[in-house]
Structure 1
């Protein structure tokens, strides 16, 4: 990007702006059923059909997730799709007992991790200027940025999966330390949370739990 002249850069920006305007004209809002499917009536699932997820669908899922916004386009999340018996056995050692069967039954369990050295890739991800000095030697800032933005990307993954017709079941009932030792030892990666993906067995669902009303948690300042 930094090698482009001002005329070429202006043209690229104009095209990007026009693409957004055109998309908004074609689809100003999602229909009610689409919104219900991805959030309002979406559920966390605990039981799964014995139905695999094609690799191509997981690749499409990532393609959607990769386009979600992050700070300085830093994209610190790393996704590990655990599908093999060996991988599931290794992951099971980190889980609380009540989560093991849920994980084993799901066709895919994603380890959503983040890279503490994400900032090394900023010349590619954010080519407008060199932002690496903001992070170099600042481990606490690197960890905070990676965790916050990696969590955001994990949320994109869940919403995108529902949009593609998959069901999700996020899990925090596990040991991050065990996952990091088992899968990421000697690397700059750290685990965030786990998410089961698949096609749900709805017979295991119970009623949806309450949510706060607008006035309970929202304010105008």
Structure 2
């Protein structure tokens, strides 16, 4: 019989979930892109529908290109992003079906089947890219980084700045750094969470 997978210890689980907060303002210090690369390399093995993997990443270092993207952010999100060491725009590729012969070869003809079903591809791309975003956030934490996800932005405006050549469609932005700043509202107080009994039904 296959050997059962061992559970992670509580300290590791704490460092990934309960012990971490969304970070709005980060401590000083650059983020090594290699850490982001490693986080993706781990997160990519998590499941998506038919292994479609529609999430795409646009990494923005401080500079003119990120400044142009920030112009399309709402509220205080621009200020937070300008102060962040590194920013990653999470998007999805509406043409994810083009890669199905490689990603899901056991089912022939999927690229052709989905070619004319744009509405279906849009929904499946968004749903699975959001799923991958969750994996990616946890993977970034596992590599010692703190993350500030944001969705308050004009997605078409961001796309015009950084996705005009790819056709990718923006979903959210992750600001990434090493720990919270000691100044300002770097992390908000912990909000309540539902417990299992409140959100489940068991038959």
TM-score normalised by the chain length of structure 1: 0.84
Measure how far apart 1:52 and its partner are: 1.1
Number of residues paired by the alignment? 199
Greater helix share, structure number: 1
Identify the residue that residue 161 of structure 2 maps to in structure 1: 182
Measured after TM superposition, the shift of residue 148 of structure 1 is 0.5
Asked if 1:154 is matched to 2:136, the reply is no
Deviation at 1:108, TM superposition (A): 1.2
The equivalent residue for 1:145 is: 124
Partner of 2:190: 208
Tell me by how many angstroms 1:86 deviates: 1.4
Give how far 1:141 is off. 0.5
CA contact (8 A) 2:85 2:177 kept: yes
Shift in CA distance, 216/23, structure 1 to aligned 2, threshold 3 Å: closer
Is residue 148 of structure 2 the alignment partner of residue 169 of structure 1?
Answer: yes
**Match of 1:191?**
170
**Aligned with 2:17: secondary structure?**
helix
Structure 1 residue aligned with 2:44, among 63, 66, 80? 66
Q: Give how far 1:192 is off.
A: 0.7
Q: Please say if 1:35 is aligned against 2:13.
A: yes
Q: TM-score, normalised by structure 2?
A: 0.91
Residue in structure 2 matched with residue 220 of structure 1 by the alignment: 202
Cα RMSD after superposing both structures: 1.8
Moved beyond 6 Å, runs of 4+: none
Aligned equivalent of 1:92, options 64, 70, 73: 70
CA deviations on 1:164-219 (whole Å, 9 max, x unpaired) are: 11001100111112111222225431001111111122543332011122222211
Deviation string 1:58-88 (CA, Å, 9 cap, x unpaired) is: 2211111211111111111111111131122
**Deviation digits for residues 16-38 of structure 1, max 9, x if unmatched?**
xx9xx5682xxx11111111111
CA contact (8 A) 1:50 1:105 kept: no
**Contact preservation (8 Å) 1:95, 1:174:** yes
Larger radius of gyration: 1
Structure 2 equivalent of residue 49 of structure 1: 27
Looking at structure 2, the residues matched to 123 and 140 of structure 1 have their Cα atoms a distance apart, in angstroms, of 21
